[in-house]
Structure 1
Amino acid sequence: MIEHEVPAPRPLLRRPEDGELIDVAGVAHFFRLTGEHTGGRFAFEEFTLEAGIVGARPHVHAEHDEYFYVLEGELTLHNGDGEVTVGPGHLLSAVRGTPHGFRNAGTGTARALCLYTPAGYEGYFRDVHAAVAAGAEVTDELLAEFRARYRTASH
């Protein structure tokens, strides 16, 4: 290969165990793809939350879209008009500027996928996780500070 040529992109196959696990406030975020893998185009995660856990109170993103797809259990989703409880196969599209949130109001574990486009919001989860690992308590103020860094506001 000539020195100035850039190699052609190659497909990336991820095994089931490949990913970055980030546990934040009772939600296990398993990022299968991050911006580092996709050139910043998108991030892809599988997340799990036990009964009674609030994944995210209603909020709005200014710079990325999120798509939630329920795999197992039930999620109670805030869809801008209120809450709706849904099961496997349901998809919520939360494009930038639309209020959304999720929690597990059911009695069993919920598992879902989330796609972020463009990538970058995985940094929010890394930052919160690092702060907690360093001894910070998860408070509304702490979360608001980190959300602001990623152009996200409570709704």
Structure 2
Amino acid sequence: MIMHDSVRALLSRPGDGELIEAAGVEHLFRLTAAQTGGRFGFEEFTLAAGTLGARPHVHHAHDEFFYVLDGELTVHDGDGETAVGPGHLLAALRGAPHGFRNAGDRPVRGLCLYTPAGYEDYFRQVHAAVAAGAVVDDDMLNEFRSRFNTSPYLR
């Protein structure tokens, strides 16, 4: 008889998860570090028309993958910006400069995956700071990002 450890499959139904609005982006965290033992984070995001998602930055401790479901997302890949639509995937591996915004006139919906998980805590902290009255600006965001081994991309 083969024995299996007690790890169980995780089922997340449509709409399940933790909803956080941070700096103009709506995040629905479907899987978090707490649920996956830190292995993987998975979110659905919505970016309103004309909204800056993130200025170019670099993650030094995790990889991040963006997949566009609907709308047109403008992504920065370290060299410049490119507008991409449904089906496009941006892989921002550790050390790769990247950023994103919605330059269009309708919302963008997409998926974002993190490995290892844990970066969702950055968004929780930004959300909590704003709820407590903090103003979102580059200095504030850079201070929070530094807590998660992330730095601004200065070129």
Q: TM-score, normalised by structure 1?
A: 0.94
Q: Deviations for 1:100-119, whole angstroms, at most 9, x for unmatched residues? A: 00000111110010000000
Map of 1:115 onto structure 2: 113
Partner of 1:14: 12
1:64-103 alignment to 2 at 5 Å? Answer: 64-103=62-101
Q: CA deviation at 1:12?
A: 1.1
Please give the residue correspondences for 1:37-52 in structure 2 after superposition, counting only pairs within 5 Å: 37-52=35-50
Which whole-Å CA distance do the structure 2 matches of 1:110 and 1:17 have between them?
17
Report the aligned-residue RMSD.
Answer: 1.0
Q: Name the aligned partner's letter for residue 93 of structure 2.
A: V
- Partner of 2:151, secondary structure, is strand
Distance 2:35 2:147 in 1: 22
Moved over 2 A (4+): none
Q: CA deviation at 1:153?
A: 0.5
Which one-letter code corresponds to 1:131 in the other structure? Answer: A
Distance in 1 (alpha carbons) for counterparts of 2:5 and 2:14: 27
Report how far residue 7 of structure 1 moved.
Answer: 5.4
Structure 2 residue matching 1:11: 3-state secondary structure: coil
Q: Which residue of 2 aligns with 1:23?
A: 21
What's 2:144 paired with?
146
CA distance in structure 1 between the aligned counterparts of 2:30 and 2:48, rounded to whole angstroms: 20
After superposition, what is the alpha-carbon deviation per residue over 1:56-89, rounded to whole angstroms, capped at 9, x for unaligned?
Answer: 0000000000000000000000012100000000
SS at match of 1:132: helix
Alignment pair present for 1:35 and 2:41:
no
Structure 2 gap segments, 5+ residues each: none
- Within 2, Cα distance between the matches of 1:30 and 1:59? 22
How far, CA to CA, are the matches of 2:5 and 2:83 in structure 1? 46
Mapped partners of 1:76, 1:105: distance in 2: 7
Displacement of 1:36: 0.6
User: Aligned partners of 1:64, 1:30: CA distance in 2, in Å?
Assistant: 19
In structure 2, the partner of 1:3 is none
Between the aligned partners of 2:115 and 2:36, the Cα distance in structure 1 is 10
Matched letter for residue 99 of structure 2: G
Q: CA deviation at 1:17?
A: 1.8
Q: Using the alignment, how far apart are the partners of 2:137 and 2:48 within structure 1?
A: 20
